[in-house]
Amino acid sequence: MRIKLEKTLNFTKKTRNQKNIQFIIIHYTGMQSERVSLNRLKDLKSKVSCHYFITRQGEILRLVEDNKVAWHAGKSRWRSKQNLNNQSIGIELQNKGHNLGYEKFSKIQIKSLVDILRKLKRKYHIKKKNILGHSDIAPLRKKDPGEKFPWELLSKKGLSIWYSNKRKKSNYSNIKNRRDTFFKNLYKIGYRYFKINKYSKNDRLIIKAFQMRFLPKKVNGRITDKTLKISHLLAHKS
């Protein structure tokens, strides 16, 4: 695997301890082209950056060293953690994103991603449950990497959690308080930014974030039987 070096000054200068690297966060750039994305990641005024940038041709660029904190996650939460920049490595995939013409990720781009994920996972002993999308940790603000990102494929390579359908069937249309049950499951998985017993107009965004990750063909912001079932299978895994 070849990694090309690029320079950005958008990172926290203090060196972090290797054992603080516990998460990998996957993004898309949401920019028109690679050139525009790279300019932004290097622009001092943008105050954004990432550790690795992967082009649509599968080229991997490193902008920030692993032992420095890059600025990719922003305000974010997952389980007991907040502001995940400090504990994570950020990987940006070039893609125009939902606002400019969301593209299928290219095969070679995903292959390079798999290579670098394997390497980082091994090097820092990162758990597969800690490889996440930006929308998982900031569901009210972010849609990346979105429903075209192949999480199921990653799970087959041991690089993401997924659910198993093998359990005996339960009837999910009979569950009384669907909303609270669903959000209880999401809380268990690690999602935040909601209250288990209190409806909010933001619920829809959380449901969508969950569906983009685990039910990508049916992102509708509603707690369908299938959505509820998958949340259940994931929350009661072990």
Closest CB 229 distance from Zn ion, rounded Å: 28
Exposure string of 179-218, with b = 16+ CB inside 10 Å and e = fewer, is bebbbebbeebbbbbbeeeeeeeebebbbbbbbbbbbeee
Closest CB 49 distance from Zn ion, rounded Å: 11
Closest CB 133 distance from Zn ion, rounded Å: 8
Q: For residues 97 and 190, which CB has a smaller minimum distance to Zn ion in the complex? A: 97
**Number of residues in contact with Zn ion under rule CB under 5 A:** 3
**124: enclosing H helix or E strand:** helix 107-124
Closest CB 172 distance from Zn ion, rounded Å: 32
Q: Which of 53, 70, 144, 233 forms a contact with Zn ion (CB under 5 A)?
A: 144
92 catalytic residue (yes or no): yes
Q: Which of 134, 192, 208, 213 forms a contact with Zn ion (CB under 5 A)?
A: 134
Q: In what order do the strands lie in the sheet with 88-93?
A: 3-5, 60-62, 52-54, 88-93, 23-28, 131-133
Task: Annotate each residue in 15-44 with x if it binds Zn ion (CB under 5 A) or - if it does not, as one string.
Answer: ------------x-----------------
Question: Tokens 């390079």 belong to which residue?
Answer: 112
Q: For residues 92 and 183, which CB has a smaller minimum distance to Zn ion in the complex? A: 92
- The SS3 call for residue 132 is strand
Q: For residues 53 and 182, which CB has a smaller minimum distance to Zn ion in the complex? A: 53
Residue 173 has a CB neighbour count (10 Å cut-off) of: 10
Is-contact 94 54, C-beta < 8 A? yes
Amino acid at 207: I
Q: Is the peptide bond before 145 cis (omega within 30 degrees of 0)?
A: yes
Closest CB 171 distance from Zn ion, rounded Å: 38
Catalytic residue among 65, 92, 147, 152: 92
Cα–Cα distance measured from residue 142 to residue 138, given in angstroms and rounded to the nearest whole number: 6
Interacting residue ranges for Zn ion, rule: CB under 5 A: 27, 134, 144
Active site residues: 92
